[in-house]
Amino acid sequence: MRSFTHYEQLAALFDYPDATYPSRVQAAQQSLETHWPDAAHQLAAFAGALPGGPDALAPDGLAEMQEVFTRSFDIQAITTLSVGYLMFGDDYKRGDLLAHLNREQRAAGVDCGCELSDHLPNILRLMARWTDDELVTELAQEIVRPAVEKMLAEFGPDRMAQRNRLYAKHFGTLIASSAERRTIFRQPLAALAAVLDRDFERIERKLPERSGDFLQSIGRELDIEATDGHPTPAGTER
């Protein structure tokens, strides 16, 4: 049986930041240094980019990291940490996945807290604790790696610029952050992708492209929410 315990430390990178966040990054980096040096290098760069550096967050650093985390993962469905939603949307297949993961996580002693079972940290902790190599491999190849690839694509400069323009209109200061840290969470995602590629054979699949129409549809939904369910009339500026 192979050991996948390093996914326990990787999971902590995608939990909401608190004062212990730098130590979480260091623990994950140390767990990778021997067998996954490229991913460990990614995390070392990530640690160095934290506000205050790799050892402790600066006085205002925690608030900044929490804001960037929220902007990166919580208000944007296209980079949500709910990997089942990324893969299946609201299709019934996500419901099947949630039910299966719930059962397996209870058996493995994974506490999902207030998140659903397809929340990325919960899935990574399940991978760390499962004793069935075949199930871990299937989950990694079919669900986790394709979802991470989709998320990484959305951290590209063009996609980030489109989203920033869209969300600035609706959330204002919520998405304001220092320029050098705006995409900081791309680094732990890239490290996770590197580890997955080293641990599991890559299955190449053509992923559906995220078009401008997708972002436009989000904009329309936000417009409807902002007008209490009434779409903005055509040709009307707000």
- Single-letter amino acid code for the residue at 73: F
Collapsing DSSP states into helix, strand and coil, what is residue 119? Answer: strand
Instruction: Summarize pLDDT for 123-176 with one digit per residue, the tens.
Output: 999 999 999 999 999 999 999 999 999 999 888 766 666 666 666 665 554 444
Instruction: Summarize pLDDT for 105-131 with one digit per residue, the tens.
Output: 999 999 999 999 999 999 999 999 999
Its pTM surpasses 0.85 = no
CA atoms of 31 and 39, how far apart (whole Å): 10
DSSP string, 152-167: HHHTSHHHHHHHHHHH
**Does a structural domain hold residue 62?**
yes
**Does a structural domain hold residue 218?**
no
**Which CATH number covers residue 14?**
1.10.3480
- Residue 67's domain comprises 6-156+182-206
Per-residue CA distances from 126 to 43, 85, 117 (Å): 22, 18, 10
Q: Which residue has the higher pLDDT, 122 or 217?
A: 122
**Does a structural domain hold residue 175?**
no
**Does a structural domain hold residue 235?**
no
